Amino acid sequence: MVQILSLLLDFQYLSQLEQGLSVENIADFLALFSAILGVFELITQWFVSGRAIERLGVFVITALPPLLLAGLSALTLTGVLSLFVGVIGLKFVDELLRYTLVASTAPVLFQPIPETSRNRIQSMVRGIAEPLSAGLTGAALLGTIWLFQRFTSPDLTGPDPTFVRIQGLIFLLYTAIFSLLWLLTVLKLRSKYLEVLVLGSDRGQLSLSQVDLTVLRRNLVEALSRAATDEEKSSCIELLTEVDPTRTSEILSPLLSTMSTPLQRQSLEAMLNYPDPAYLDQVRSLLDSSLPPDLLAKVLRYVWLTAAEPDHHQLTPYLLPEVDPEVRGTAAALMLRRGNPRQKAEATDLLRRMLTSKQERERLMGCRALSDAVYLQSLRLYIHPLLQDESLRVRCAMLDVIAATHLEEYYSALLRGLHYKSTREAAGQALVRLGSEAIPLLIEFAEDPYKPDGIRAQAWLTIGQIASPDAVDLLVSRLLTAWGTTRRTLLRVLLRVPREAGIEAVLETLGRRGIESLIAQELQFLAHLYASLLDLRMDDGRNEPNEEADLLRRSLHDAEADAIERLFLLMRFLYDSNKIQAAVFSLQAESRDSVARGLEILDNTIDLSSKAVILNILDRQPIAEKVQNLSDLVEYHPMSPNQRLRYLLDLRHFLPAWTLACCFHLARSMRWSLTAEQILVCLRYPTGFVREAVLAYLRVASPKTLREVLPRLRHDPDRLVALQVEQMMAELKS
């Protein structure tokens, strides 16, 4: 389109000069026109082009020339502008924008093409497409003139003004049409451009909120019947369970008899979540075949949970000692659940023998059987010993029993299970099984500042996995008051809530304005970090390395990375998560091409009022330029290093614990004075190594104050801090 319009406008421009000016004046006009055009091109390239692209984006700038050309053509065709003035204006705008804005943005349009084929495609465009379009345009111009002269004014021997004007208007109409085609091309290009950029960044995921579930379910059923391998069928069952879990029995039960054993096992696990009596006969038919113990146990559970009047005598053969423990335990639990008093007593005695057996598998299957029991009765006596069993698998199984039977007196064991890596997953699953009942326990646990960050994050994650409306609303409410690591954890948890319920809850509660406010907070925090990095350069003239200063600077850079991560997490609530993740992936790469691709994705995705600031921060500029870019949010006032350090400590509620400790270590090494409030508040900081840093600072800065505070910290909950206190007290006494 650019090449076509160039030739088309050149022809009209020269034609109008020939018709409107004398031969003597044409040269003067061309010189004056070129001079004025050159001045405007220089001004545009120096002062307008870069700023316009930065503020408006590549595609807005790319769409500007065809919009202006189409507008001027329309004004001329309607008679608002004379034909001569209109064509001169079109030529001026085309030349001005072609060699400034269009020339600046053209290379960017090749950015998403893989490097391996980018040069080849650029060569094809420059060497084949452009000359070909120019040649076809020239041939079309000649053909149009010939046809117009032949059929419109065949008898004319000289140029008639009316004929020339009609011909000019026709070519002007061509200009408007091709300008609109250029604009449509840009719009089409933009819709595919981001897709190619995202694919080039190796990012993408399925979002169930973006598909028609009815069509997807129908396609899954068809795919399941056509699938040739167990892997394909397993994938279909897994996705079907996620898409429509309540109808798994309806879809999977007719296929059970033709499935392999692993697929039968997977299907029954999905069907047991929503057992339906209507499909009892298809599942019961499996009892006629030889089944592995785990599969047989699942079939028995489905049959007995759905049968209106189960035959207790059919379970009796499965209670014999020679039967596999998994089947025997399942049969006993079902008997305990739906049997008569005598049968319940027999089942209780059988489970008691399994729970006290010396064999781990017997105890394990006995514990799993308890999860199906409604009333534990006398079996409660064995819960506490089994929670301390030597077998990890038995202990984990007991955590599930506590949740399944709602044993409130043992809920504390579930929370203790979160502390240990070996039982963390089992404890989390048990708490999720409790649902909203576990939320108050988890909130108290997650908001305890003396718990390790990893354990608190696990508690927030568990609340997110519960995913009830109460849980989601609670996470959103805490998002407004949380900061730092806790806010990052909450954002991650909300983004993981199934079916984007977390994203919808945040948008309903906070709205776009609320999310932008959180983004502004992160940008303000970044402004303080960059100001600190700028002022803490420690240019004291001695050129001596300062390890504490290096530690503080590194911690500030880590805090910067955390803040930028929170920025991207917040953006995912407003924009396509795939595109934001693709931008993150590209920006984390080392090559400049990847960084440019990431910035281009963001530029064409986000429309925040602070977009230009965010792009400048992510563009790896020097710290001083970042501070300048953020000056509208936080005005920068240069400070001496010790002043900046005290200012940082005043922001302690927003700083990571390690950054706070590094501040005290630097103040100790440089012998800078800090306020009494800063010292006393940080002595009560929940993290142990911060209290250690404060004590080390007091040892140098104020031994007298240290003597007064040491006795209060003798029984500090942190073992290392308590040991440090004992050593300091011994040194001061000596």
Can you give the length of the chain in residues? 734
- State the pLDDT confidence band at 115, using cuts at 50, 70 and 90: low
Question: Which tops the pLDDT comparison, 168 or 12?
Answer: 12
Residue 662: per-residue pLDDT: 93
Residue 153: per-residue pLDDT: 53
Residue 213: per-residue pLDDT: 58
Instruction: Give the distance from CA 700 to its chain's centroid.
Output: 46
Among 283-297, 304-318, 426-440, the range scoring the smallest mean pLDDT is: 304-318
**What does the domain layout of the chain look like in residue ranges?**
2-200, 222-306, 310-401, 510-638, 642-734
Q: Tens of pLDDT along 118-151?
A: 777 877 877 788 788 888 888 887 887 777 666 6
Residue 585: per-residue pLDDT: 87
H runs (alpha helix) in 21-160? 23-43, 49-56, 58-77, 83-97, 103-105, 115-124, 130-152
Residue 156: per-residue pLDDT: 44
Side chain identity at 87, as an amino acid letter? V
Compute the distance between CA of residue 162 and CA of residue 321 in angstroms, rounded to an integer: 110
Mean pLDDT of 45-70: 80
Mean pLDDT of 340-353: 87
Among 176-190, 208-222, 238-252, 427-441, the range scoring the smallest mean pLDDT is: 208-222
**Residue among 262, 256, 255, 223 at smallest CA distance from 240:** 223
Please calculate the CA angle 259-261-264 and round it to the nearest 5 degrees. Answer: 60
* 478 pLDDT higher than 60: yes
Mean pLDDT of 178-184: 88
Portion of the chain with pLDDT greater than 70, in percent: 90
- State the pLDDT confidence band at 658, using cuts at 50, 70 and 90: very high
H runs (alpha helix) in 202-311? 213-226, 230-243, 248-252, 261-271, 280-284, 293-306
- State the pLDDT confidence band at 112, using cuts at 50, 70 and 90: low
Residue 154 makes CB contacts below 8 A (sequence gap 6+) with none
Compute the distance between CA of residue 268 and CA of residue 249 in angstroms, rounded to an integer: 8
Yes or no: say if 66 and 177 are a contact pair by the CB < 8 Å rule: no
Of 8-17, 24-33, 175-184, 393-402, highest mean pLDDT: 393-402
Helix (H) or strand (E) holding 650: helix 641-650
Mean pLDDT of 14-18: 83
Residue 413: per-residue pLDDT: 92
Residue 159: per-residue pLDDT: 53
Q: What is the average pLDDT value for the chain, to the nearest integer?
A: 84
Compute the distance between CA of residue 641 and CA of residue 535 in angstroms, rounded to an integer: 6
Structure tokens at 702: 């104020």
In CATH, what number does 2-200 get? 1.20.1250
Yes or no: say if 634 and 527 are a contact pair by the CB < 8 Å rule: yes
Q: Tens of pLDDT along 520-562?
A: 999 999 999 999 999 888 654 444 557 888 999 999 999 999 9
**Residue among 408, 359, 357, 358 at smallest CA distance from 380:** 408
* 66 pLDDT higher than 50: yes
Residue 547: per-residue pLDDT: 87
